[in-house]
Amino acid sequence: MDEKKIRWFTVSIIAFSMVWGFGNVVNNYAQQGISVVTSWILIMALYFIPYALIVGQLGSTFKSNAGGVSSWIKETTNSHRLAYYAAWTYWVVHITYLAQKPQSVLIALGWVFKRNGDVATSMSVQTVAIISLLIFLFFLFLSTKGLTTLKVIGSVAGSAMLVMSILFIILAVAIPFMDTSFTAATPQMNQLSTYIPDFNLSYFATISMLVFAVGGAEKISPYVNSIDRPTKNFPKAMIFMAVMIGLSAVLGSVAMGLLFNSNRIPEDLMANGAYSAFQILGNHFGVGDFFMIVYGFAQTAVQASALAFSIDAPLKILLSEADPEFVPSWLRKRNSKGTLINGYLLTGVLVSIIIILPVFGIKNMSELVKWLTNLNSVVMPMRYIWVFFAYMMLNRQIKKFQSEYKFIKNPKLGFIVGLWCFAFTAFACILGMIPKADYAADPSSWIFQLISNILTPFVLILLGMILPMWARRERKKIS
């Protein structure tokens, strides 16, 4: 075997750490309860495995393209405009993602220093908005100054988080065997019917969170051609990764069911659930708050690192080689140090609006965390749609391109699978706009969440449509 080639098992581990996180278990359990076990199995088989293998073929076909999804679109459609919209979507979906990170940092630090979830249950939305805005603006400034140290800290903390996620499953599942007096919080966990969801509108409104949880597989594409014999070993690597994620999701959800009653899920579970879970485990194993504090420090570092790099990296992808036909010169402007100064300014304005917006319609911090997490699950998967569109276009002209690895050799069947993933993602995003709050409990908050869930993605995409018009006017003035 070529020494420069990576073993398929190594690629599986890299991909697993890129895609998966313990927060995915907590957030989806908070939405669906113990029945999420069935949902995880379905989403893995029907969506995630095809998604990962589609990315594999695209990465293998366009191995010399550094632009990722936007370059796939340009190659398969020969359209610079569509490639711009793909690049814009990839960047703009990070706006809601960035708006949530300061609250995550705040909650993590609250658990580390106060040992409880008071930040998420007692702090007013106005106070949270002001503190979150200050945290964001600090990291916005920091991201313009170089991030080498923070990248190293984030990488180490990310490894710690992965270890903690696996440790949580092991410890939680071990409790009933070590302590015979232990009683599971969720009743009838030994009955199959407990794990079957009610397939109604409320259920389908939560699947965007599942799609959001398993998204991001396009980050794997650079590794396709690094594997020895990719035609044979890449599918093996992706299926093994999907099995690892599936086991983590299923066992993690069962572990959550042991600690939190699926029939009476706490209102603040999405905000505080992970910390409460580690605190409960620590008390069972006689180490007090040790697990929770380690997790809290790791979470703080990971969220801070993600905040800084999610400001910097997507912006550079969008603007570093931006087409002047679609992006006006003021947005491509650099200062004397080469910093895309107006790009950072635009990011700052848009994220600040999302951070301040809840002041006008959200009553408490727990509801804020749920709303922002759900808004992310509506907005973030919009970038995955471009992956499936590129795969559909690739299958329409399959003879034009050469690929060492092919997911499906029959182009018609390949197109249908791409269309299925495209339609499923769009379906999840649209239904995800339905608020998860109780309308009867707070009608004004429910209406605010519905309007913001619908308007936010449309406004962000509309802004991307305005920029080419601006660039065209600019070129007319010059000519």
Whose structure tokens read 């366009």? 62
**Going residue by residue through the chain (479 aa), what tens digit of pLDDT does each one get?**
445 678 888 888 888 888 888 999 999 999 999 999 999 999 999 999 999 999 989 988 887 766 678 889 999 999 999 999 999 999 999 999 999 999 999 999 999 999 999 988 889 999 999 999 999 999 998 888 766 666 677 778 888 888 999 999 999 999 988 888 889 999 999 999 999 999 999 999 999 999 999 988 787 777 787 888 888 888 888 889 999 999 999 999 999 999 999 999 999 999 999 999 999 999 999 999 999 999 999 999 989 888 888 888 888 888 877 788 999 999 988 888 778 899 999 999 999 999 999 999 998 999 999 999 999 999 999 999 999 999 999 999 998 998 888 999 999 999 999 999 999 999 999 999 999 888 888 899 999 999 999 999 999 999 999 999 999 998 888 87
List for the chain the helix, strand, coil content (%; round to 5): 75, 0, 25
**Cα separation, 89 vs 458, whole angstroms:** 11
DSSP 5: S
Burial of 66 (0-12, 13-18, 19+ CB in 10 A): exposed
- The alpha helices in 196-321, defined as continuous H runs, are 201-204, 207-214, 230-259, 269-284, 290-319
Angle at 461 between CA 459 and CA 467, to 5 degrees: 100
Rounded CA gap, 451 and 447, in Å? 6
Question: In this predicted structure, what is the pLDDT of residue 1?
Answer: 44
Phi, psi for residue 430 in degrees, rounded to 5: -65, -50
**Token pair 């809601």: residue:** 96
Q: Which two tokens stand for residue 76?
A: 């398969």
Cα(401)–Cα(13) distance, integer angstroms: 29
Tokens of 20: 């998966």
- Is-contact 272 106, C-beta < 8 A? no
Q: Which residue has the tokens 């991001």?
A: 216
Q: How far apart, in whole angstroms, are the C-alpha atoms of residue 138 and residue 140?
A: 5
Q: Which of 380, 307, 420, 368 is nearest to 24 (CA)?
A: 380
pTM: 0.93
Question: SS3 of 200, please?
Answer: coil
Collapse the DSSP code of 227 into the 3-class scheme (helix H, G, I; strand E, B; otherwise coil) and give the result.
strand
CA distances from 442 to 205, 359, 445, 449 (A): 19, 15, 6, 11
Concatenating the DSSP letter of every residue in 437-450 gives S-TTT-HHHHHHHH
CATH number for 8-478 (one of 3.20.20.70, 3.40.190.10, 3.30.70.1290, 1.20.1740.10): it is: 1.20.1740.10
Sort residue 474 into left (φ over 0), alpha (ψ -120 to 50) or beta.
alpha
Radius of gyration in angstroms for the set of CA atoms belonging to the chain, rounded to a whole number? 22
Are 328 and 464 in contact by the 8 Å Cβ rule? The answer is no
Measured distance CA(357)–CA(451) in Å, rounded? 12
Q: In the prediction, which pLDDT does 147 show?
A: 64
Which two three-digit tokens encode residue 432?
């995800």
